[in-house]
Amino acid sequence: MRLEIKDLRVFYGKIEAIKGISVVVNQGEIVTLIGANGAGKTTTLKTISGLRPVTSGSVTFDGQDISKMQPHDRVALGISQAPEGRGIFPGMSVLENLEIGKYFRKDRRHEMKEDLEKVYHLFPRLKERAFQAGGTLSGGEQQMLAIGRALMARPKVLLLDEPSMGLAPMMIANIFKIITEINTELGTTILLVEQNAQQALQRAHRAYVMETGKIVKEAKASDLLNDPDVRAAYLGTGADAH
Amino acid sequence: MINLRDAGSKFWDRLNPIQRRVFVLASIAFLLVVPYLNEFGPTSFLNTPIASFRDALVYPIGMFVLMALGLNIVVGKSGLLDLGYVAFFAIGAYTGAILSTTTSLNMWEILPIGIALAMLSGVILGLPTLRLRGDYLAIVTLGFGEITRIVVLNSKFTGGTNGVPNIPPPPKVGPIVFDIMNPQNYYYLVVVMILLTIWMIRRLTIRRPGRAWEAIRQDEDVAMLMGVPTLKYKLWSFTIGAAVGGAAGVVFASKVMVIAPGMFDFQVSILILACVVFGGIGNIWGVVLGATLLAYIPERIRFLTESRQLVFGLVLVIMMNFRPDGLLPRKKREKIKDKNKEIK
């Protein structure tokens, strides 16, 4: 598995949201993309999943150019996303939400049970709530459901868009712990978009810093944790360095 | 407000298999005697004062129910706002009218052709436009409805403003004769079509297409991320809806015997949409009830002459105030309960 973005440019009408970025995600890694609001992180993930068209540049998966492929074909290749704001289907039960995650697999019957067990093992709370409507879950539970649902497709690479958004600190720590587990136990490669740079950099192997549509820094996550610029801009502890 | 939808499903759950069979048979018996209710003392108040009751049962009531069910697949199941649904009805009706007056084909043979043409036009309209969302789709479909009417109005082969006269009724099936003297037989035909449509919708809803439509309706972007081929399923819901409209059109043409462009104006699309919303978007029984009432009430109060539409509008406004989700709203989580049973 190797996901590679090269010189990617994406426009919303006349506005250039992504101004030629290159990102590589290798097998088994957790790679994080950090940056402030409006930096283009979510657009990057949407483009990888095929919700936004590519203006120029390329997205390749295992050497195959997927930038013109339909979104559902990308899921079939092994790219799953837990979208920003979780995107739970509020009127469906937790179980139905999970089942939808396996939609593209027609031979799903025999896999379904196994994968449900896998998700319930990671998130026991979802099992308790299996027959409850998705819309009635708490924010943290919805985030678990969004991640679990994305895992149902047996992804090779899991795209997570701000899993910490709007959650209590305890829940954030819990979610990030599970993200690490998914990476180590299931061997799933993860591309993590975050504003919570502290948590993201602690969990990731490598990191990219994005600002207004460009990648401004690329390094090992642990190095960025100690990088004075990053600390000043995203970690909030370097204020007195000025 | 009591939830009639839940009361209905609770009632059904409590019945044992024998009681259910009796209930279904009683319902069928009721549907059979409906055309004669206006002659029977206690129910004679149902009679429509100006139009013949049996004719009113076919058009508008039966046709509205059928079309509302078809539109419900598009608007209710997959959440696509179609403001030009009348176009498919018109395509079915004109196919029936033109083929039955110019060729030797009878209505039964034309019916599949009418359905096929309506579906084809659904694909032609849907392929480019279903990439649009919400308001944009509504405007394009509205345009399609108007374009269809104007093309029909200005073409030679459709008879222009005069429409198509002398459409032959369908040939008899066994002892059942279809002619002006026996409008109740058209009613039975429409009831059969309605039941077939309901059966088809229910089959589709519990399978993959139903899941896909539900996901698309709730959040189209996320449906894409889950690997649902959204365009394909939106196109399917559009064409299946069109097929029902086309079928209704073919039967309608052979019933009324003369069709003209004025019968297929924008108002019909809006009325059918009103039936769906009034009854309860997405719920089959709600849509059936809504369409029945919205088609029947204007006929029943026809003696009010000019103020008829005013009273009708008032009824709509008051009803939507009391039940904003429709008479029988969609039950939010239908299958969850059944799954629970399976596990136990």
Q: CA of A193 to nearest chain B CA: how many angstroms apart?
A: 16
Strands (DSSP E) contained in chain A are 2-12, 15-26, 30-35, 56-61, 64-65, 79-82, 157-161, 189-194, 206-211, 214-220
Interface of B with A in 203-232 (CB under 8 A): 208, 211-212, 214-215, 218-219, 221-230
Q: What pLDDT sits at residue A106?
A: 65
Classified as helix, coil or strand, A186 is coil
Confidence band, pLDDT 50/70/90 cuts, at residue B163: very high
DSSP B335: T
Where do the domains of chain A lie? 1-77+154-233, 88-153
Confidence band, pLDDT 50/70/90 cuts, at residue B337: very low
Confidence band, pLDDT 50/70/90 cuts, at residue B324: confident
Is the confidence at residue B342, as pLDDT, over 70? Answer: no
- State whether A89 and B227 contact (CB < 8 Å): no
Q: What pLDDT sits at residue A233?
A: 83
- State whether A93 and B339 contact (CB < 8 Å): yes
Higher pLDDT, B133 or B214: B214
Q: How many CA atoms lie within 13 A of A19 on its CB side?
A: 12
> Which chain B residue's Cα is nearest to A95?
B336
Where do the domains of chain B lie? 52-263
Q: What pLDDT sits at residue B344?
A: 38
**Taking the domain A1-77+154-233, which CATH number applies?**
3.40.50.300
- State whether B227 and A76 contact (CB < 8 Å): yes
pLDDT in tens, B86-109: 999 999 999 999 999 999 999 999
Q: Is B2 on the interface with A (CB under 8 A)?
A: no
- Looking at beta carbons, which residues of chain B come within 8 Å of A51? 221, 224-225
Sign of the alpha-carbon torsion through B193, B198, B201, B204: negative
- State whether B221 and A50 contact (CB < 8 Å): no
CA A151-A153-A156 angle, 5° bins: 75
DSSP A31: E
Q: Which of B218, B230, B336 sits opposite A89 (nearest CB)?
A: B218
Which regions in chain A score pLDDT beneath 70? 105-108, 236-242
Sign of the alpha-carbon torsion through A170, A174, A179, A184: positive
In Å, the largest CA–CA distance within chain B is: 65
Tell me how far apart the alpha carbons of residues B296 and B64 are, in angstroms, rounded to a whole number: 10
Strands (DSSP E) contained in A73-222 are 79-82, 157-161, 189-194, 206-211, 214-220
Q: Is A95 on the interface with B (CB under 8 A)?
A: yes
- State whether B224 and A101 contact (CB < 8 Å): no
Q: What pLDDT sits at residue B60?
A: 92
- Looking at beta carbons, which residues of chain B come within 8 Å of A97? none
Q: What pLDDT sits at residue B62?
A: 95
Q: What pLDDT sits at residue A94?
A: 95
The pair phi, psi for residue B301, each rounded to 5°, is -100, 25
Stated pTM of the model: 0.89
Confidence band, pLDDT 50/70/90 cuts, at residue B48: confident
- State whether A100 and B336 contact (CB < 8 Å): no
Confidence band, pLDDT 50/70/90 cuts, at residue B307: confident
Higher pLDDT, B297 or A104: B297
Q: CA of B115 to nearest chain A CA: how many angstroms apart?
A: 29
